[in-house]
Chain A
Amino acid sequence: MKRNLKVILILISVSFLKITSLYSNEQIFESGVSYDEIYDPIEPINRLVLNFNFFIDDIAIRPIVKTYRFIAPEPVEKGVSNFFSNLKEPIRTVSFILQGEFYKSFNSVGRFTINTLTSLGTFDLASKVGMEKNETDLGITLAKGGVSSGPYIVIPIIGPSNVRDFSGDVIEYFVDPLSNNLPNREYIAIGNGLNERVEIDEQIDKVRDVSSDRYEMIKSIYYQNRNAQLEEEYIQNLPVPKIYIE
């Protein structure tokens, strides 16, 4: 039954990708998105889901995160963050191989080995010896393979995504060589989700404070971060205003 579910979900993901390429209005996949117009055909639904997510965050997740950040000493918070990041090294390795980035995939294997053996991943010793962490995932792999991002979607509880990245996440969940072989992987997934929420806690507070349209702000931040993972010279290539004499 579980095996059938896996197949069904992967098929759904793949068919989503097909739909994506049909409906996406993007021209160039390298940049992933035009900064002014992000393809967002289901905006009213997305806005509802975002409001729902903020509601859940306010009543359940945010209090947990704030309490945790208040109680946990900095090394503990860092250690937990490193632990979950280390669990993603095997899937990063797979992603880099699929992208043809063999040096980075070896780096990921090395990082996973060093950090797991020395501290179960809670301390990033590998970075100290020059093996820096390289972020990637299957969504990025699909993007580099020419799959366009498709419509922007807000997933209940999980948050902002697009069809390509969400499909990547679904596939990742089932093909991840590590977590597939771990017991209670659902708890690990929840722990990872909470850890990710902790990591963006300050940003979320800022969004609450300084945005005239938090939906647009979150969407823009999401795409900027994804584009930064796709483009080599992302910062240099960001659009700048035309200069007027002050």
Chain B
Amino acid sequence: MKILLILITTIFSFSATQASEVSEWFEKESSQFLEIISNNEGTESENYEKYKYFVNKNFAIKSIAYGLIGEKLVNNSSEIELSEYLNAFTDYLIKTIYKLANSNSSSSIVLQDVDIKDDIFIIKSEISYKKSSANLYWKVIDTGTSFKIIDVIVENTSYFVTKKSEFNKILRKNKGSLEALVKEIQKI
């Protein structure tokens, strides 16, 4: 009984420590993100570089990119094809976030809750726009050295799910050609 209690206490305190670490990370990175959004004084390429740094630092780009095309296509593609796709996707992700953030001029992101499911942190926050606010969820993993975002869900719309259906459509239309997908996402 005593061992069981110790075990339960250990598990709970470990989860609480992890949750507080991820909260701390989130507070720091979200305020940095807001700073990037609000500071539009530089040239477009300078601002873009700031977004690029932020996305490369905080997003699990490879996992998202490979998850969007599916394991089968990842296994059937060459290293060169995957590398080209990964570069194109990274650029696509940065541009998407850049466009979304620039059209929003959000004023605050407030952390509300942290939940853990299957080793994935689900951070609930609220983002305020000029006139309204929206629930914003972040799915985050602990890589051991840092935390990385694997999905962003605005209200009920998941970036990963939405892009997966878009990418699947392009792949189906082009008989599973990764090259065609790369060309398509480079158009953005």
Known contacts A205-B103, A246-B61; is A238 also within 8 Å of B71 by CB? no
- Count contacts on A: residues with CB < 8 A to the other chain: 34
Cα–Cα distance between A74 and B96 once the two chains are bound (Å) = 28
Contact assessment for B67 and A220 in the assembled complex, using a CB-CB cutoff below 8 Å: no
Which of B16-24, B32-40, B45-53, B155-163 has 4 or more CB atoms under 8 Å from chain A? B155-163
Instruction: Select one of A77, A219, A246 contacting B60, CB under 8 A.
Output: A246
Contact assessment for A243 and B158 in the assembled complex, using a CB-CB cutoff below 8 Å: no
Asked whether A36 is an interface residue with its Cβ less than 8 Å from the other chain, the reply is yes
- Write out the residue numbers on chain B whose beta carbons fall within 8 Å of the beta carbon of A213: 166, 169-170
* B60 to chain A: closest residue by CB: A246
- Count contacts on B: residues with CB < 8 A to the other chain: 46
Asked whether B165 is an interface residue with its Cβ less than 8 Å from the other chain, the reply is yes
Contact assessment for A210 and B166 in the assembled complex, using a CB-CB cutoff below 8 Å: no
User: 1/0 per position for A34-50, CB-CB distance to B under 8 A?
Assistant: 01101000000000000
Contact residues of A between 84 and 140, Cβ < 8 Å to B: none
Known contacts A36-B165, A235-B153, A236-B115; is A210 also within 8 Å of B99 by CB? yes
- Write out the residue numbers on chain B whose beta carbons fall within 8 Å of the beta carbon of A241: 60, 63-64, 66-68, 150-151, 160
Contact assessment for B151 and A212 in the assembled complex, using a CB-CB cutoff below 8 Å: no
Distance between A25 CB and nearest chain B CB, rounded to angstroms:
16
Cα–Cα distance between A210 and B61 once the two chains are bound (Å) = 18
Contact assessment for A224 and B158 in the assembled complex, using a CB-CB cutoff below 8 Å: yes
Asked whether A55 is an interface residue with its Cβ less than 8 Å from the other chain, the reply is no
Known contacts A240-B151, A242-B66; is A35 also within 8 Å of B164 by CB? yes
Contact assessment for B120 and A240 in the assembled complex, using a CB-CB cutoff below 8 Å: yes
Asked whether A232 is an interface residue with its Cβ less than 8 Å from the other chain, the reply is no
Asked whether A211 is an interface residue with its Cβ less than 8 Å from the other chain, the reply is yes
Instruction: Select one of A74, A212, A238, A245 contacting B188, CB under 8 A.
Output: A212
* A74 to chain B: closest residue by CB: B131
Instruction: Select one of B103, B156, B169 contacting A234, CB under 8 A.
Output: B156
User: 1/0 per position for A201-213, CB-CB distance to B under 8 A?
Assistant: 0100110011111
Distance between A133 CB and nearest chain B CB, rounded to angstroms:
14
Cα–Cα distance between A219 and B164 once the two chains are bound (Å) = 12
Asked whether B114 is an interface residue with its Cβ less than 8 Å from the other chain, the reply is no
Contact assessment for B131 and A77 in the assembled complex, using a CB-CB cutoff below 8 Å: yes
Distance between A70 CB and nearest chain B CB, rounded to angstroms:
11
Cα–Cα distance between A173 and B63 once the two chains are bound (Å) = 45
Distance between B35 CB and nearest chain A CB, rounded to angstroms:
22
* A213 to chain B: closest residue by CB: B166
Contact assessment for B141 and A210 in the assembled complex, using a CB-CB cutoff below 8 Å: no
Contact assessment for B143 and A246 in the assembled complex, using a CB-CB cutoff below 8 Å: yes
Distance between B121 CB and nearest chain A CB, rounded to angstroms:
11
Contact assessment for A242 and B63 in the assembled complex, using a CB-CB cutoff below 8 Å: yes
Distance between A48 CB and nearest chain B CB, rounded to angstroms:
17
Across chains A and B, which 4 residue pairs bring their CB atoms closest together, nearest first?
A241-B67, A228-B156, A220-B165, A220-B162
Q: List 14 A-B contacts (CB under 8 A).
A: A210-B95, A210-B100, A216-B166, A221-B157, A235-B153, A235-B156, A236-B122, A238-B153, A240-B160, A241-B66, A243-B63, A246-B61, A246-B143, A246-B148
Chain A residues proximal to chain B, CB less than 8 Å: 35-36, 38, 74, 77, 202, 205-206, 209-213, 216-217, 219-221, 224-225, 227-228, 234-236, 238-246
